[in-house]
Amino acid sequence: MSEISLILVSAMLVNNFTLAQFLGLCPFMGVSGRVETALRMGMANIFVLVLTSICAWFLNTFVLEYAPFLQTISFIVVIASLVQLVEMVIKKFSPSLFRQLGIYLPLITTNCAILGLALNQSNKGYDFFQGLAYAVGAGAGLTLALVLMASIREEADLAPVPRVAKGMGLVLIIAGSLSLAFMGFSGLFTTAAS
Amino acid sequence: MSAKKDKHAPSVVFGRGIWGDNPVLIQMLGLCPALAVTNTVENSLAMGLATFFVLVCSSLLVSSLKSLIPGEVRISTYILIIATFVTVADMSLAAIVPEIHKALGAFIALIVVNCMILGRQEAFASKNPVGRSLLDAAGTGTGFMIALVMMGTIREVVGMGSFLGMPLFGPNYEPWVVMILPPGGFLTLGGILLFLAWRVQKKEQRSASTPDDGATRLEEAV
DSSP line for B30-48: SHHHHHHSTTSHHHHHHHH
pLDDT of B65 > 80? The answer is yes
Which ranges of B172-222 does DSSP label H, i.e. alpha helix?
182-207, 214-221
What is the pLDDT at residue B201? Answer: 86
- Please write the tens of the pLDDT for every residue from A85-142: 888 888 888 888 787 776 667 777 777 888 889 988 888 888 889 999 999 999 999 9
Using an 8 Å CB-CB cutoff, list chain B residues near A194. Answer: none
The shortest C-alpha distance from B221 to chain A (Å) reads 14
Closest alpha carbon to B147 in B109, B114, B99? B114
Query: Given CA atoms B56, B57, B59, B60 in this order, what sign does their dihedral have?
Result: positive
pLDDT for residue B137 is more than 90 = yes
Q: Is the pLDDT of residue B3 over 50?
A: no
Q: Which residue from A80, A112, A179 is facing B32, i.e. has the nearest CB? A: A112
User: Which range marks the domain in which residue B80 is found?
Assistant: 2-221
8 A C-beta contact, residue A108 and residue A48: yes
SS3 assignment, position B105: helix
Contact check, Cβ <8 Å, B83/A72: yes
Residues A43 and A142 sit within 8 Å (Cβ to Cβ): no
This model of the complex carries an ipTM of: 0.82
Residue B43 has pLDDT above 80, yes or no: yes
For chain B, how many structural domains are there in total?
A: 1
Gap between the Cα atoms of A49 and A55, Å rounded: 10
Q: What is the mean pLDDT of residues A172-189?
A: 84
Question: Secondary structure of chain A: what % helix, strand, coil (to 5)?
Answer: 80, 0, 20
Cβ separation A164–B109 shorter than 8 A: no
State the pLDDT at residue A189: 66
Minimum mean pLDDT range among B11-15, B47-51, B101-105: B11-15
Rounded percentage of chain A residues whose pLDDT exceeds 70 = 94
Q: Is the pLDDT of residue B66 over 80?
A: yes
- Rg (chain B; Cα; Å): 19
Q: Is there a contact between B110 and A116 if contact means CB atoms under 8 Å apart?
A: yes
Per-residue model confidence (pLDDT) at position B15 = 81
The pTM score is 0.84
Q: Which residue of A has its CA nearest to B198?
A: A164
Segment of A8-12, A36-40, B64-68 carrying the highest mean pLDDT: B64-68
List residues bridging with B166 in a β-sheet.
Answer: B163
